[in-house]
Amino acid sequence: MPNILLLAGDGIGPEVMAQTKRVLEWASDKASLNFTFQDALAGGASYDAHGTPLTDEVLESALNADAVILGAVGGPDYDNVERHLRPEIALLKLRKELDLFANLRPAITYPSLANASSLKPELVSGLDILIVRELTSGVYFGTPRGMETLPDGTQRCVDTQSYTEAEISRIAHVAFELAKQRNNLVHSAEKANVMETGAFWRKIVTETHAKHFSDITLEHILADNCAMQLVRCPKQFDVLVTDNLFGDLLSDVAAMLTGSLGMLPSASLGAPDVNGKRRAMYEPVHGSAPDIAGKNIANPIATIASSSMMLRYSFNCEQIANKIDKAIETVLDNGLRTADIAGDNDRSISTTDMGDAILQALT
Ligand code: IPM
Ligand code: MG
């Protein structure tokens, strides 16, 4: 019986998670998966209850779960909390401890939502990009980091960007493998013109490509140019592989191409073990949106689409995953919109209504 750990988190997290759980229950029944669900606290919710954003027990549950799904963490209530106790630490710790180095962020523009994008509809309609972000290294985790006081009494603060050859080649492998199932094109983004780690990233990606994936087209692109190209002509991309920090930035840009940050799901995957099983955590790319929390207006689609990625990548249920994706598309085609994707003349529906509509399209 696969064990699914649900970490609803903060802000709109519990609201979008409630709708996602319904979809997962449907999938479990439909495919006789016999999921068991465990709810636990993470982020600010855990800090409020236990004084830490992630308890050892919850970390242990995550390590033992067959898959983890997370809503969102963070919020203004925690702005003055010490850095090592902030809600985001829960996320970073889960990523690091579960070694979820490969973060897949598909940016798909549903045709009926092309008008919701801030870009011209013809630029984004039918868009299908997969961002592969390195998630457990780079400047997010590099040492040394922190403050020091200089001899003159002023302060200096340091973050460290660092990558090993193994870290770069394993994420490049993931990107090339995924490109094989898509359009055989990988863009690799870095700042090889300025950063030592950028030049090194380019070298290792080039070597990995030459050694194992020479039948796939590889393009190197500077990360700043990549940001520009994403808004200029996004359909030129298929798979985009990049480091932790650039991946964070570029995936927010890509999200807006799809109409709303409320649309983008993600999967964070570890390396497969001898049985082909990998640790995995699924989460929407959006944050906890404290300004709209508790109002039943948040868009649950990114989290529901993350559960579809779970079925695909953790349980090999391609058909069920496709059904969920299709249900989302149907609901959008039928003109149903939460506030974030509603046009000026659209009536917007609630989080629970959107959940109802997707379940109805499924059954
Ligand atoms: C993301 C988020 C996180 C990140 C934050 C919440 C720590 O922005 O998943 O993109 O920076 O990785
Ligand atoms: Mg981000």
Query: For ligand 1, what atom is nearest to the CA of residue 91?
Result: 7
Ligand closest to CA 103: 1
Selected catalytic residue, list 110, 191, 243, 313:
191
Q: What is the pLDDT of residue 17?
A: 98
Q: What is the pLDDT of residue 102?
A: 98
Main-chain dihedrals φ then ψ at residue 268, nearest 5 degrees: -115, 115
Residue 45 has pLDDT above 90, yes or no: yes
Residue 49 has pLDDT above 90, yes or no: yes
For residue 299, the CA-to-ligand 2 centroid distance in Å is 17
- Output the residue whose Cα is nearest ligand 1's atom 12: 248
Q: What is the pLDDT of residue 117?
A: 86
The yes-or-no answer on residue 252 being catalytic is yes
Residue 275 has pLDDT above 90, yes or no: no
The whole-number average pLDDT for the span 88-114 is 95
pLDDT band of residue 346 (cuts 50, 70, 90) is: confident
Q: What is the pLDDT of residue 89?
A: 97
Q: What is the pLDDT of residue 318?
A: 95
For residue 231, the CA-to-ligand 1 centroid distance in Å is 21
Q: What is the pLDDT of residue 262?
A: 86
Selected catalytic residue, list 47, 78, 140, 163:
140
Query: For ligand 1, what atom is nearest to the CA of residue 287?
Result: 6
The whole-number average pLDDT for the span 209-230 is 98
Q: Return the minimum-mean-pLDDT range out of 24-28, 114-118, 322-326.
A: 114-118
Q: What is the pLDDT of residue 92?
A: 96
The yes-or-no answer on residue 163 being catalytic is no
Q: What is the pLDDT of residue 113?
A: 87
Name the maximum alpha-carbon separation found in the chain: 69
The yes-or-no answer on residue 346 being catalytic is no
Q: Choose which residue among 91, 93, 96, 103 to substitute to test ligand 1 binding: the one with the highest number of ligand atoms within 8 A of its C-beta.
A: 91
Residue 310 has pLDDT above 90, yes or no: yes
Residue 345 has pLDDT above 90, yes or no: no
Summarize pLDDT for 229-250 with one digit per residue, the tens. Answer: 999 999 999 999 999 999 999 9
Residue 259 has pLDDT above 90, yes or no: no
pLDDT band of residue 196 (cuts 50, 70, 90) is: very high
Q: What is the pLDDT of residue 10?
A: 98
Summarize pLDDT for 103-121 with one digit per residue, the tens. Answer: 999 999 988 888 888 899 9
Ligand closest to CA 42: 1
Q: What is the pLDDT of residue 110?
A: 87
- Output the residue whose Cα is nearest ligand 1's atom 8: 248
Residue 260 has pLDDT above 90, yes or no: no
Q: What is the pLDDT of residue 37?
A: 98
The yes-or-no answer on residue 152 being catalytic is no
Q: What is the pLDDT of residue 187?
A: 98
Q: What is the pLDDT of residue 240?
A: 98
248 lines ligand 1 (CB under 6 A): yes
The yes-or-no answer on residue 56 being catalytic is no
The whole-number average pLDDT for the span 168-179 is 98
Across all residues in the chain, what is the average pLDDT?
96
- Output the residue whose Cα is nearest ligand 1's atom 5: 88
